[in-house]
Structure 1
């Protein structure tokens, strides 16, 4: 089959990634505010993820109680090893390092340093998973890195501060998490985020309490739960959905807007000065982000035969027959087969476009 499709390249992945970024970006200065109320850093990491897991778990139970059928593919046994690695890297190591870094790093600088997550996500996607990359994307990544390094450098021979290093370490852990989550992106994102939040939150909370931390007052406890539900839970659901449409590296690029949102909120909450270094770093990161968002990728490509399960409509990539037990109506979820085809249209390395490029250019 040959043909040329004309469709919006970034829809609906880009809006999902941008809203995900906004929610997560806002969570950073709000977490800094909770740390300022005396909440233990390790304990807060656990509370944020527990807020995510409990909130999303309640949503799943509510949906089940109402008898609303699930429209997404469930997690399968083969997904569990990937899910365990996602929980460890993104749910335990990442938030712990971030909370440690926030103790000694200004909230606005910490928010912009989170751009390193996008860089780590893109680098791993390109180097390990061989997603397509060109000079424009590499230039954008270099600009983002330059801005992050400018923020983390203390000057006066002090080098990179330990707080900044901890935040960079959190970003690398989340970069690993984001790439591993790509392996799960065809499954129910609410189920993924709920399990990740409950397990990671319980582990971090237990370790913090064993280390001598104590639970905060009810107000701080509720605040942490709400920030975690929106900034970690709902944000992750939208991020997984964006992965389906954009691939890992591109979703990471859109998600790089999170630090700018966090920085703006931090300036309002903490009345921090807008320094020249902060402004230059923001410009560098903005240029890098623009180079990624302005990408256009369009060429003839081949689809090999593929069988999998995910939520879909019968577009040009889903022209398959239905059995008597398959669901009616669209969108729907069932195991289906893709026949081999060749066509041309704008695309990202989503669920159906993870092909090589060396022989096609």
Structure 2
């Protein structure tokens, strides 16, 4: 539950009061508040007195309008007193941000897909909310009450989401960015401080991309196959090899050549370990030749956070039949990473 605390008083109108609340701010520039006007205009006075008071209030209201422009700045002959004595209209007081403690972060997640809510957000007649993609998947039928959903926007939650900013999940690894909650997943996918696991077997070192590259070069550099971007290089792959680490010799970027034995042959693909901040996608080519036959694939190098996450099924790969391997169980592959 999010708890908000704002300065200032209201007029006492509760949720059941149809009259909108007014914020009451004390200003010592001679401006009369709403409650004070009611007290001054008490019917106990004479009619002439009430007329004089009304005229005086109108004059004061006109002066107030002249002193304040749309941005809340204080103008006029008395502006210096407003800024110096009370500091009400000073620029530093225009920051209306508040601290919020969110005891249940899931309140900002879609109750259907459990992903962070993103604008537009829709609600049914009973107030149940869902993200736009879930509304379509459910045939615009609320899963909670079966009422139609996906036609009425929930503007209140949208405004809250636009105002809520959180620290990056990778703050402990050095990221100092604060992002809008609805952009949380997009940022985490591109954050250069996302933790990566060392691809070397038996090493549990975890660090952001740049640190991991330097760590691998210093500690495990001899175990990697160095290569240069946009140039073909050769790898001798054995049938049961699971991972061969590839490191670009200039930028120290890390890749993994992964090999998995299947029923129809070996599944081979290349994934990028780090960095996580490529401005352009990395593609790779793999060529396999045997007995006059040639197999070739051109594919996008998927992002992989490290050796421990290599159980995920790749979207692109080269299927090499078992008879492509020679009698010693080896196969020469020509690889180019662009």
Structure number with the higher strand fraction is 2
Q: Which has the higher contact order (CA 8 A, sep 6+)?
A: 1
Give your verdict on TM over 0.5: no
TM-score normalised over the length of structure 2: 0.20
Structure number with the higher helix fraction is 1
Larger Rg: 2
